[in-house]
Structure 1
Amino acid sequence: MSVSPHSEHESAPAPTGPVNLERRQLMLGSAGLLATAGLVGFSPLARAQGAPLPDYVGWKNADALIMHSASTLETKRDAIGRGILTPSDQLFVRNNLPAPDSSIMNDTEGWEVQIEGVNNPRALSLAELKRIGVETVVSVLQCSGNGRAFFPHGASGTPWTVGAAGCVAWTGVPLREVVRELGGVVDGMNYLTGTGGETIPAGLDPKSVMVERSVPLAALEQAMLVWEMNDAPLPLAHGGPVRLVIPGYYGVNNVKYVRRLAFTAGQTDANIQASGYRVREVGVPGSPDQPSMWEMPVKSWVTSPLTSATAGRSLIYGVAFGGVHGLARVEVSVDGGNRWAEARFLGPDLGRFAWRPFVLATELAPGEYRLVSRATDDRGQVQPEERTDNERGYGHNGWKDHGVTVTVA
């Protein structure tokens, strides 16, 4: 597991009971450094008071989303559904900086990405990228802080429960083909570094807020430059015109509005990498020697039922994924993890980076049940029972916290 902190504001201690989570989501936001700079200008309470979605996400289904702030929208747990692909209008949104002006979508074919650290460096337009190659890969997109609401120490940042994740079909060119076209990676390069095209507010040190992330060079094998999402042009809200996507890696590494890709000897010194998204003990500041939020681990959770069910035959649904590895199986328990039964996968297997909806049919008598799920990847790594406590509430894949209590009548 890996992690890093971005400048989300400090929050009050988190209630741990599931009944209090929705109230906590209304109380807290993730404005952080942007709020201190006066850039967000949006109260997390506004959605509860009936405010419309911001313009750049105005096309989304507001009834399927929890709005924490103008830049953070979470998919409701009961909206995740039983299909493999997450509808684009229900997919969560997490922006570290305000989205660029919509005018950048006026000439998508002309959008350029500068490629560096290759033997023949140059800028390539989207039109040129499309001529190099094309591939569609289905993968889970998940925020590093998904599950943060379950940490008892009140980790700062957006109080995501399970909805800062979705499964998306990305279409674009494999980065390895682009690199081959440009003569290969220069010797001695250890990292792939992507830089976003957001506007840096005047008066701020660019390194303090810019979205620039480095991942190990091994990620080149699955990295893509994408221009379509779920068979439609990549929207501004999700990084259009062009986004770097690294299947199996946490969302922060999937740089939106990508303007520059560089193969580098070391990691970027931008704050989002140097001290941000780093896994460390509670109370410890971020530093470059700590694990970074790169590869995702195996994870699952129940999506239905969530609060109540009728006695008799019940179908328990959920989603599971292996992170950077394939998924082998998922089990469900109705008694909080004392006894387990293997669930059945729904629908086709769309590759090792996609999630698999699952279902377990069981008989439930009247009473109260604690429903939990536990996934195993194809390397034999089992989803752990407990979270790993850390300062920023990153990388939570413990099955115990993700359970739901259901009353059967």
Structure 2
Amino acid sequence: MQDKPKLGFALSAKMGLSLLGEVPLVAETPEELLDDDTTPIAHFFVRNNGLMPQPTGDPEGWSFVVDGEVERPLRLTLAELKSRFPHKTYRMVLECGGNGRSFFEPQAAGNPWTNGGAGCAEWTGVSLSDVLREAGLKETALFTGHFGADPDKHGSHEHQAMSRGVPIAKALEEHTLLVWAMNGEPLPFLHGGPLRLIVPGWPGSLSQKWLTRIWIRNREHDGPGMTGLSYRLPVHPLPPGSDGKGVALRILESMPVRSIVSAPADGAHYPEGTRAIHIRGAAWAGDDAVARVDVTLDGGATWTEAAMTPPRNRYDWVRWQASASLPGDGPYEIFARATDSQGRAQPFHAANWNPNGYGCNVMHRVRVTVGPEA
């Protein structure tokens, strides 16, 4: 059994994150700290499903295997991966499947994420598709299964803490990467270094940390996190508070459209007589594109369309900004609403309640005050 992690050491490089759980270690980022085009490592959220493995003394010698429904099973070290395949760098959002969970009523099970289970970093690695083609996929290859070196939350290696997978079509996307660098630096151990998967647009639990194996399967993967209610949504709406038993469920794949206000921060105060405030933030939409972002300060009676900066590549978030006029002093609530390329917009109130609280993308609300200090 492995000793439990020393929390102070694990989060020593982080700044301003909110701790949601110690074992496993989980911490989210306040929205106002997500105000950079590229999320700094110090501000990037942390999500573990088990304990962290022992650090390796030789990152370049770290190895993983590709086996199962392939013609040529592979075992590659990180050094071999770097030398044999083209390198790619993309700025892409990584988001926890439970992001927004705390906005469900009644409360769903799991870590009470607000909007801070997301970040957008520059990831460097190779396309998983290049490695799978080297291995030679059989016609029977339908799904992947991902495995990491981390023990479960009790410190046992007998069972995976998390082992999820994706349909082969998603695995073959150019942007699905085997990653060894984050924001131009060696991938931090806390974020899965020396090697992890990044499966953009889908729940972060698919982006296996401390990667040791990719098992190509002839059917849907059934590892921890792939069965029962795990990462599944009801096909038809459930009454809030239902246990979800006996109802039709679908696997959560592409994450829903979401926008955050990164400035002003919640609780901001403006001097008396301020008649306009500048608002900025970020938006993203899983596999889809962000079509527009709008903000309101009057509960949705009127909306102001934000100006958006085009993303650098697919799965990058959109940075946006808007200027809102104020009729006078007083308290205001800013709501930001993103709409995706399929015409789906964020709701005012959490919809599609489910027992484990996945996929909640309610509009972000920020309260500000204009006028004399109380």
Could you say whether these structures have the same fold, taking a TM-score greater than 0.5 normalized by the shorter chain as the test? Answer: yes
Distance 1:40 1:294, change over 3 A: farther
Aligned equivalents of 2:50 and 2:247: distance in 1?
22
Post-superposition CA distance 1:362-402 (Å, at most 9, x none): 22221222211111223333333432211111111122xx2
Greater CA deviation, 240-249 or 382-391? 382-391
* Aligned equivalent of 1:190, options 142, 156, 161: 142
Map residues 19-98 of structure 1 onto 2, 5 A cutoff.
Answer: 53-61=7-15, 64-70=16-22, 71-81=25-35, 83-98=36-51
The match for 2:267 is: 307
Match of 2:325 among 363, 370, 373: 363
Structure holding more helix per residue: 1
Tell me, yes or no, if the aligned pair for 2:49 and 2:153 is still in contact at 8 Å: no
Conserved? CA contact 1:250–1:295, under 8 Å: yes
What is the deviation of 1:202? 7.6
Deviation at 1:328, TM superposition (A): 2.0
The Cα of 1:204 is off from its aligned counterpart by 6.0
CA distance in 2, matches of 1:286, 1:204: 29
**1:273/1:288 contact within 8 Å kept:** no
> Runs of 4+ in structure 1 displaced over 3 angstroms?
37-42, 200-207, 280-283, 285-289
Structure 2 residue matching 1:192: 3-state secondary structure: strand
Q: Summarize the alignment of residues 252-291 of structure 1 with structure 2, pairs less than 5 Å apart.
A: 252-275=205-228, 276-280=230-234, 281=238, 282-284=241-243, 290-291=249-250
Distance 1:39 1:263 in 2: 32
The residue aligned with 2:80 is 128
Aligned to 1:139: 92
Match of 1:112 in 2: 63
Given the alignment, which residue of 157, 160, 164 partners 2:113?
160
Q: Distance in 1 between matches of 2:154 and 2:293?
A: 49
Superposed, 1:155-234 pairs within 5 Å as: 155-183=108-136, 185-200=137-152, 206-207=158-159, 209-220=160-171, 221=173, 222-234=175-187
Task: Indicate the RMSD between aligned Cα atoms, in angstroms.
Answer: 2.4
TM-score by length of 1: 0.80
Q: Distance in 2 between matches of 1:302 and 1:360?
A: 11
Structure 2 unaligned segments of length 5 or more: list them. Answer: none
Aligned length: 353
User: What is the alpha-carbon distance in structure 2 between the residues aligned to residue 391 and residue 256 of structure 1?
Assistant: 26
- State TM-score, norm by structure 2: 0.87
Q: Percent identity?
A: 35
Supply the AA of the counterpart residue of 1:159: P
Structure 1: runs of 5 or more not aligned: 1-36, 43-52
- 2:53 is matched with 100
What's the offset of the Cα at 1:192? 1.8
Q: CA deviation at 1:304?
A: 2.1
